[in-house]
């Protein structure tokens, strides 16, 4: 068992299901002791996907303890003032449980065309948008003059329950995303990285924060964890590769050994431990399986993996 200082928290994603089934799984995740409940975000994707903040609002009404987060919200696709209003409302309705994970995205240029946003401006829009959202959460009235957004003496009310607004976790693995996390983030969410790269990325985040004179006290370190638990490594790997290859319309076979958390519960714990040693303190668990197997995966992870990372 880890000491309290080394303990990690666990979040979980839920696949797209009919509403009643979606909410049953969300309630079960809270009952199993997961710390947070997450969803991804796209306007248009390779497959169907619910709108993220609407989905989290539905979770807010059927849960009471678990935190609710986006990993990650594509802020460039929306006017930041609208994002600020919706997230302030969601934080209020959930009793202050929102974690606002934001990112640049860009792997699907057509959704930027759909939103009328130039693909090449997405990074700059996210950087500015974070400041816009925070100003509207915090100030009443707020004034902002930037490249994309201008307003003076405007207030959105009610404010979020969390003082200053929900924590903003920055997603991504590029140098630009890491610098943004160090300059602006309350936390960082990685994906598709090795533990070695995770540790290197945290060093870059710390350097960016130091250059701005920022303290990273309380900074959250998270990893979007594509996990498949099985009776043995090979069968779990086959399921992991098949499902992710369909989701992202590319071959994930060459990526499995490098980036997957795959195998028996013991093997998965060993792989998670390498990320914990690299500095990760929050695992955002995305069970990679067919939808009708998701409940079993979540139950297994809750029973056989979470307790091994709880303090004694």
| Residues β-bridged to residue 142 | 154
3-state secondary structure of 200: helix
List the one residue out of 110, 37, 94, 22 whose CA is nearest residue 70.
37
State whether the Cα torsion 275-279-281-283 is positive or negative. negative
Residue 193 contacts residue 259 (beta carbons within 8 Å): yes
Backbone angles phi, psi at 56, to 5 degrees: -65, -35
Please report the pLDDT score of residue 7 as a whole number: 82
> Could you state, in order of their start, the residue ranges of all structural domains in the chain?
4-309
Please report the pLDDT score of residue 303 as a whole number: 97
Going from the C-alpha of 152 to that of each of 63, 155, 167, 257, the distances in angstroms are 37, 9, 24, 52
Q: Which CATH superfamily is domain 4-309 in?
A: Luciferase-like domain (3.20.20.30)
Please report the pLDDT score of residue 311 as a whole number: 79
Q: How far apart are CA 59 and CA 12, in angstroms?
A: 13
Cis, peptide link before residue 141, omega less than 30° from 0: yes
pTM score, whole prediction: 0.96
Residue 279 contacts residue 202 (beta carbons within 8 Å): yes
Going from the C-alpha of 269 to that of each of 8, 36, 255, 273, the distances in angstroms are 12, 19, 19, 6
11 HSE (CA, 13 A, CB side): 28
Q: How far apart are CA 220 and CA 234, in angstroms?
A: 33
In total, the chain counts a number of residues equal to: 312
H helices then E strands: how many in the chain? 11, 11
Q: How far apart are CA 90 and CA 94, in angstroms?
A: 6
pLDDT tens series, the chain, 312 aa: 455 557 899 999 999 999 999 999 999 999 999 999 999 999 999 889 999 999 999 999 999 999 999 999 999 999 999 999 999 999 999 999 999 999 999 889 999 999 999 999 999 999 999 999 999 999 999 999 999 999 999 999 999 999 999 999 999 999 999 999 999 999 999 999 999 999 999 999 999 999 999 999 999 999 999 999 999 999 999 999 999 999 888 999 999 999 999 999 999 999 999 999 999 999 999 999 999 999 999 999 999 999 999 876
DSSP state string for 275-297: HHHHT--EEEEEE-S-GGGHHHH
Please report the pLDDT score of residue 106 as a whole number: 87
Residue 228 contacts residue 289 (beta carbons within 8 Å): yes
């Amino acid at each position: 068992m880890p000491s309290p200082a080394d303990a990690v928290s666990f979040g979980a994603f839920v696949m797209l299901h009919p509403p009643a089934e979606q909410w049953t799984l969300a309630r079960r995740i809270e009952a199993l002791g997961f710390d947070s409940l997450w969803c991804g975000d796209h306007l248009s994707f390779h497959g169907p996907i619910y709108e993220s903040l609407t989905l989290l609002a539905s979770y807010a009404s059927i849960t009471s303890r678990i935190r609710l987060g986006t990993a990650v919200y594509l802020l460039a696709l929306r006017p930041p003032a609208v994002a600020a209003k919706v997230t302030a409302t969601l934080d209020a309705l959930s009793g202050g449980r929102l974690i606002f994970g934001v990112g640049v995205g860009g792997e699907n240029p057509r959704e930027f065309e759909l939103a009328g946003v130039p693909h090449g401006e997405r990074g700059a829009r996210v950087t500015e948008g974070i400041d816009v959202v925070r100003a509207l959460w915090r100030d009443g009235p707020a004034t902002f003059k930037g490249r994309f957004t201008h307003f003076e003496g405007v207030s959105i009310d009610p404010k979020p329950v969390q003082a200053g607004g929900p924590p903003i976790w920055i997603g991504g693995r590029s140098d630009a995303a890491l610098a943004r996390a160090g300059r602006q983030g309350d936390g960082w969410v990685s994906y598709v990285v090795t533990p070695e790269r995770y540790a290197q990325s945290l060093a870059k985040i710390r350097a960016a924060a130091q250059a701005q004179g920022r303290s990273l006290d309380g900074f959250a370190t998270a990893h979007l964890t594509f996990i498949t638990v099985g009776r043995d490594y090979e069968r779990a790997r086959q399921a992991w590769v098949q499902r992710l290859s369909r989701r992202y319309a590319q071959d994930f076979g060459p990526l499995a050994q490098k980036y997957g958390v795959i195998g028996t519960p013991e093997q998965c714990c060993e792989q998670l431990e390498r990320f914990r040693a690299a500095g990760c303190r929050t695992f955002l668990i995305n069970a990679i399986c067919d939808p009708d197997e998701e409940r079993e995966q979540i139950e297994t992870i809750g029973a056989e993996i979470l307790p091994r990372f709880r303090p004694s």
